[in-house]
Chains A and B, each alone.
Chain A
Amino acid sequence: MDYALIIEKFVLVVILFLISLGIAAYSTYFERKLAAWIQDRVGPDRAGPFGILQPIADGVKMFLKEDFTPKNSDKWLFIIGPGIAMFTALITSAIIPWGPDITLFGRTISLQVTDFNVGVLYMFGVVSIGVYGIMIGGWASNNKYSLFGAIRASSQMISYELAMGISLITIVMMSGSLSLTDIVHKQHGMDWNIWYQPLAFLVFFICSLAETNRAPFDLPECESELIGGYHTEYSSMKLGLFLFSEYVAMFISSALMAILFFGGYNFPGMDAFSGNLLALLCVVVFFAKIFFFIFVIMWIRWTIPRFRFDQLMHLGWKTLIPIAIINMLITGVVIAFNEGWF
């Protein structure tokens, strides 16, 4: 038994856990700041310099609030709902390659918890379970608004997962592998997938907005119609977990977009470096890409109004899926042509 491997993976998992939560916490802060800037306001600036301690204040507030359970709710499901949402948001980070291998204490350490050979499938499986958190939470609340929110969330996720999956198949076809590590290795330097698959990226981007329930697809929790949507009845840290899992999911989906279409940790001129320095630069570049996508997602949220539900379904089934299928067919024909099948 290789104990060093266990320790190494354990440390990596703990670091990833902390990074995911830390980034999620500061996404809330940054989201409020960005919203304020877009609306010509200042935003939170009271807790610490520039309000930098605001997430901590929010977290303390969340813990100190009364944890209320509605009388007619299903107690166990009510607790499990936010747990599933948070759990699924966190475990996706296991398959993400954060950088090339590093050498520490004479060991080659991979900056990836596990190099799954069916990483893309795993990711899809986890994302599909993610809807259960919302669905169970909304159902267990025994409140009509929660139920509406939950139903909206599940129908929306099922619709958009199709287009998302089909747009991903093109990437899998080009890379010839379901492993995220292989997909990243294929995009060495500036040879990113976005240059070959802009349409697939567009479909994937829109779908991942819908999957993470971000505006303009935040119908499951739209305040004007459904009070709070699926988390209407939730309070205290259970509500915090729901909100947090949304931000963790946003972080993970930004990472996936960077990996699948923008070369992951690859950057032009990376051959000039080697060893741990290269690994460090790669991680920095990767996080820069992730933060850029988080920024764009937030920017979109504060620009575009929410869809109506029939518009959402129309876009999902009648626009994105045909586009994704046509894109997939064209990609298949081009690959077959290059392989010399004709």
Chain B
Amino acid sequence: MESLSNRKKVVSDKPMTFVERLYLPAIIRGMMVTLKHMLKRRKTIKYPEEQRVFAPVYRGMHVLKRDEEGRENCTACGLCAVACPAEAITMIAEERKKGEEHLYREEKYAETYEINMLRCIFCGLCEEACPKEAIFLTDRIVPTEYERGEFIYGKDMLVEKVDQRIDITKRQGTGKRGKI
């Protein structure tokens, strides 16, 4: 039967011929193989200077979105934490006080919202579970740290800055969410 790769070789243990026992032809053939590799173009991407293009649906570091008026979308319902298969998300809810209407869109908001980036598997289920379009995965990469504790991201790292909005339109059109 023909093998799938078409590179099947019949192995036998018959004694080597004189030419084979010289080894030199085989060595020269091997050296030609390495020479060919020496002259090949490198495929290395030198990372910090040169970055490869991300897929439009790349799932990287999370962002907690604000609405057009700069209010936090998140209402601390906990659906993302329930959906999370890695149990990376924890939050504490708080009631919105009078005079905080310009900060939070709903009557309830997340006082603390933490994602453990070491637990997170970047599956995007939190994004799918969110009824308020509050959490999204972005094409940003979680940077490396020296301590484990530094990987637990609080609201200071996750909520987008009012003056530095993060574009998530590419993610909005993907997955079960479909086209808006």
Interface residues of A (CB under 8 A from B): 34, 37-42, 45, 299-300, 302-304
Complex alpha-carbon distance, A40 and B41, angstroms: 8
Q: Report how far A191 CA is from B83 CA in the complex, Å.
A: 82
The answer to whether B31 touches A300, judged by C-beta atoms less than 8 angstroms apart, is yes
| Main SS at interface, chain B | helix
A42 to B41, CA, bound (A): 10
Interface-side segment among B42-50, B51-59, B105-113, B159-167: B42-50
B44–A302 touching, CB < 8 Å:
no
Interface stretch among B32-40, B90-98, B137-145, B169-177? B32-40
A40 touches B31 (CB 8 A): no
Q: Which residues of B contact A34 (CB under 8 A)?
A: 38
| Contact A38:B42 (CB < 8 A) given known A303-B31, A304-B27 | no
Give the complex CA separation of A193 and B89 in angstroms.
Answer: 77
Partner of B37, one of A40, A45, A304: A40
Would B27 and A40 count as touching, CB distance under 8 A? no
CB contacts (< 8 Å) of B40 on chain A: these are 40
**Shortest beta-carbon distance, A305 to chain B, in Å?**
9
With A303-B27, A303-B31, A304-B30 as given contacts, are A37 and B44 in contact (CB-CB < 8 Å)?
no
Which A residues lie within 8 Å of B30 (CB)? Answer: 303-304
Chain B residues, Cβ within 8 Å of A37: 37-38, 42
- A40 near B34 with CB under 8 A, answer no
A97 to B31, CA, bound (A): 31
Closest chain B CB from A46 CB (angstroms):
10
Q: Which residue of B lies closest to A296 (CB)?
A: B31
Q: Which of B31, B33, B35, B43 has the most CB of A within 10 A?
A: B31
Q: What is the CA–CA distance of A34 and B43 in the complex, to the nearest angstrom?
A: 16
| Residue contact A42 to B37, C-beta cutoff 8 Å | no
Q: Is the CB of B42 within 8 A of A299?
A: no
Interface residues of B (CB under 8 A from A): 27, 30-31, 33-35, 37-38, 40, 42-44, 46
Task: Please name all residues of chain B whose beta carbon is closer than 8 Å to the beta carbon of A300 when the two chains form the complex.
Answer: 27, 31
B37 pairs with A38, CB closer than 8 A: yes
CB atoms of B37 and A41 under 8 A apart: no
* Residue numbers in A under 8 Å from B44 (CB-CB): 41-42
A304 to B24, CA, bound (A): 11
* B21 nearest CB neighbor, chain A only: A319
Bound-state CA distance A39–B33 (Å) is 11
Let me know if B27 and A299 touch, CB within 8 A: no
Contact, CB under 8 Å: B37 / A299: no
Q: Provide the bound-state CA to CA distance between A304 and B30, in Å.
A: 8
Q: Which residues of A contact B42 (CB under 8 A)?
A: 37, 40-42
User: Inside 8 A of B38's CB, which chain A residues have their CB?
Assistant: 34, 37-38, 299
Min CB gap A178→B, angstroms:
30
- Find the A residue at minimum CB distance from B32: A303
Given A304-B27, A304-B30: A299 and B46 within 8 A (CB)? no
Contacts of A39 in B (CB 8 A): 37
- CB contacts (< 8 Å) of A45 on chain B: these are 46
Chain A residues within an 8 Å CB radius of B35? 299
Extra contacts besides A34-B38, A42-B46, A299-B31 (19): CB < 8 Å: A37-B37, A38-B34, A38-B38, A40-B40, A40-B42, A41-B42, A41-B44, A42-B42, A42-B44, A45-B46, A299-B34, A299-B38, A300-B27, A300-B31, A302-B34, A303-B27, A303-B30, A303-B33, A303-B34
Q: Which of A40, A299, A302, A304 contacts B43 (CB 8 A)?
A: A40
Tell me how far the C-beta of A167 lies from the nearest C-beta in chain B, rounded to whole angstroms.
16
* Distance between Cα atoms of A37 and B35 in the complex (Å): 9
Q: Write 12 A-B pairs (CB below 8 A) sorted by A numbering.
A: A37-B37, A37-B42, A38-B37, A39-B37, A40-B37, A42-B42, A45-B46, A299-B31, A299-B34, A300-B27, A300-B31, A303-B31
In the bound complex, CA of A303 to CA of B28 (Å): 10
- Closest Cβ–Cβ distance, residue B30 to chain A (whole Å): 5
Please report the C-alpha to C-alpha distance between residue A300 and residue B30 in the assembled complex, in whole angstroms: 9
